[in-house]
Amino acid sequence: MTKRLSIILAAFALSVPAAADQTSWTHFHGDLASTKFADVESFTPQTVTQLERAWEVRTGDVSDGSGELPASVWSATPIYANETLYLSTPFYRVLALDPATGQERWSYDSQSTLEALTQPGLKTRGVAYWESGQEGPCEKRVYLGTMDAHLHALDADTGALCPDFGEGGILNVNQWNTVNNVWPFSLLQQPTVAGDRLFLSWSGMDWEYTATPPGNLMAVDARTGELLWDTGFIPEELIPVTGTANIWTAMSADPELGLVYAPISSPEPNYWGGNRGDGIPLATSITALDMETGEIVWSRQLIYHDIWDYDTPSAPTLVDIERDGETIPALVQTTKQAMIWVLDRRTGEPLFPVEERQVPPSDVDGETASPVQPFVETPPPTLDYTDFPGVWWLADLVSAGQCSRDLETYRYEGLYTPPSLEGTLFYPGTAGANNWSGAAVDPRTNTLYINTSRIAQVIRLIPNEIFEDEVRAATGGDLEGGNEEGFHPQQGSPFGIEIYEWLNWAGLPCWAPPYGTFSAYNLNTGERLYEVPFGLSQQWGFYGLRSWGSPTLGGPVVTAGGVVFIGASMDARVRALDAATGQELWSDTVAAPTVANPAVYTHEGTDYVVFVAGGNSILKEQVADQVIAYRLGN
């Protein structure tokens, strides 16, 4: 009897580390599968009304852009590992915080240049964590990337640089930026860590150039920073005339299959592709690479000849789908164009039907848009692009018919209407129905949760000959930085662009609400379980109606107790939703919109959810430097 009890206890003890690991948050999206699932049961629809602020930290690293520094854009999700909470700030500092109190254990200042080299502002999405399994200095490390392309390796216990990495603890990643290097390899998204490797990708500056660095994925040794392999995605002959097709967002990995999954962006220039010859098959794709060799194992292109800047924007979520009694290792990719792709992650084959449909041709000289595009409508898209919401009567009334008159001048023939000289309506907008935060999945039920923006934008091509005159006439000559509304030259192509949201003079959206929703899907069957308006829109401080919802940046986390945590909305609130219905259970107002996923962790027996309220000018001109953790009250 005693022996049997010992075996049971031993088995239980062995199971504990696995369970405990579920409540840590050692990767950007919680785990390498990017599930954003926390196996925490204390947060339930009944208990979350008792949430209270456990602690709050103001980092001091914030800029609204009005002074000498560019505005800060803070989309970080903290890492919980080594009994510590780690995160980076948009001034490229790393903070190690006590998870229970928020007290600083150490900080590290990279002394990186605080210039908007490739982005409109100073941006970071956080840090990465690696541990060797051995004891000693630098056997546990935190990695910080900077906009000027340096990767810093720090001892996770002390914050000291690890001297065996790169040169004195800093790896100059820009040493591998040797082709069309009009910008540095900005390391805004932290590396993906799998085994003893770091998988590195970079961000650039959209909409400004034509010939730019070709997108590539690099694997480096986690201990030394030695380059192990470097795989590019643009055909050799096109490299002189195009660029990017890079990975600016997070990645996922399946160590059992030995694959890293790369969501690859569209190529440059973003809105004209007349220089791309027969196309770039790996652009706007999800591509699986061998973690050991960098060899491309399979690739699935989601848009042919992308001229909409509909980058593949987020790490795919890895789940095991149940079908006819069989378990299929799958991958779920949410997209800017609102389609949800469910693929066999071993082969890249779709698990739901894909149909090629005719799409409108381009009427611009030198451009040949793809005559067909792939459509996948199971699961249903997060936004019904076949049903354009039309002119909103209120905005039209307020503007004395301006919205209706505008619509008559634009080109719009549904999804994938090519950019045009008169201005093309993009619905969803170029920031996408879904963006970098992706979806959360409860792997116990294979239920996917996702927030969606419903934004209509106008992109107008402007011939080079008149571009400067138009910019001068409209703005006095000011060009915006990358990814901001306004004029952008696409230098080297025959066309610059003007990009703006379709608003009336009063700033009201010209298209009918809702502007943001929250949905859940059954991934086994492909059914949508619900879709509800999410968040509150805000203009000049005034809130829209609940039924209008809000555009969102940032995304959800789902917990085992049946609660979804999410910020993301314009109204700078963080919320707990009932995972079963999408209904709001609790909210708190924070200092700025939280434009990242929160993290959930268990520390010393207490469960916490932590948000970074940093803001992003794409959503709203409001920035902050707040880290805020919640736990259940007594």
Partner 1 sequence: MRIAYLFALSPAVVGVVLGAIAWFKPETGVDGTPGALLALVGALLVVIGSLLTMTSRLSGRAAWTLKALTGLGAALTAIAAWFLMQYAFAIAMALALFGFALALALSNRSAAA
Where do contacts with partner 1 occur on this chain (CB under 8 A)? Answer: 539-543, 571-573, 589-591
CB of 62 to partner 1, least distance (A): 13
Spatial distance between the Cα atoms of 421 and 299, rounded to a whole number of angstroms: 33
CB of 589 to partner 1, least distance (A): 4
CB of 553 to partner 1, least distance (A): 18
For partner 1, the closer of residues 280 and 572 by Cβ is 572
CB of 633 to partner 1, least distance (A): 19
How buried is 421 (Cβ within 10 angstroms: 0-12 exposed, 13-18 middle, 19+ buried)? middle
Spatial distance between the Cα atoms of 167 and 473, rounded to a whole number of angstroms: 49
For partner 1, the closer of residues 58 and 405 by Cβ is 58
For partner 1, the closer of residues 247 and 572 by Cβ is 572
CB of 555 closer than 8 Å to CB of 450:
yes
For partner 1, the closer of residues 138 and 574 by Cβ is 574
Structure tokens at 336: 């800017």
For partner 1, the closer of residues 151 and 591 by Cβ is 591
CB of 101 to partner 1, least distance (A): 20
* Long-range contact pairs involving 20-26 (C-beta distance under 8 Å, separation at least 24): 20/602, 23/600, 23/601, 23/602, 23/607, 24/80, 24/81, 24/601, 24/602, 25/77, 25/78, 25/79, 25/80, 25/81, 25/599, 25/600, 25/601, 26/79, 26/80, 26/81, 26/129
- Strands ordered across the beta sheet of 573-578: 37-38, 556-559, 563-566, 573-578, 584-589
- What's the gap between Cα 374 and its chain centre? 22
Residues forming a β-bridge with 268 = 243
For partner 1, the closer of residues 115 and 621 by Cβ is 621
Structure tokens at 361: 């041709």
CB of 316 to partner 1, least distance (A): 34
CB of 85 closer than 8 Å to CB of 610:
yes
Spatial distance between the Cα atoms of 36 and 131, rounded to a whole number of angstroms: 21
- Strands ordered across the beta sheet of 527-533: 440-442, 447-453, 516-522, 527-533
CB of 607 to partner 1, least distance (A): 24
Structure tokens at 265: 């962006």
CB of 198 to partner 1, least distance (A): 37
Spatial distance between the Cα atoms of 250 and 179, rounded to a whole number of angstroms: 23
What amino acid is encoded at 123 in this protein? K
CB of 581 to partner 1, least distance (A): 23
**Residue 253, SS3?**
strand
CB of 512 to partner 1, least distance (A): 19
CB of 391 to partner 1, least distance (A): 23
For partner 1, the closer of residues 12 and 505 by Cβ is 505
Structure tokens at 535: 């968040």
For partner 1, the closer of residues 522 and 539 by Cβ is 539
For partner 1, the closer of residues 542 and 605 by Cβ is 542
**Residue 221, SS3?**
strand
Q: What is the DSSP string of 305-336?
A: S--S-----SPPEEEEEEETTEEEEEEEEE-T
For partner 1, the closer of residues 288 and 590 by Cβ is 590
For partner 1, the closer of residues 173 and 595 by Cβ is 595
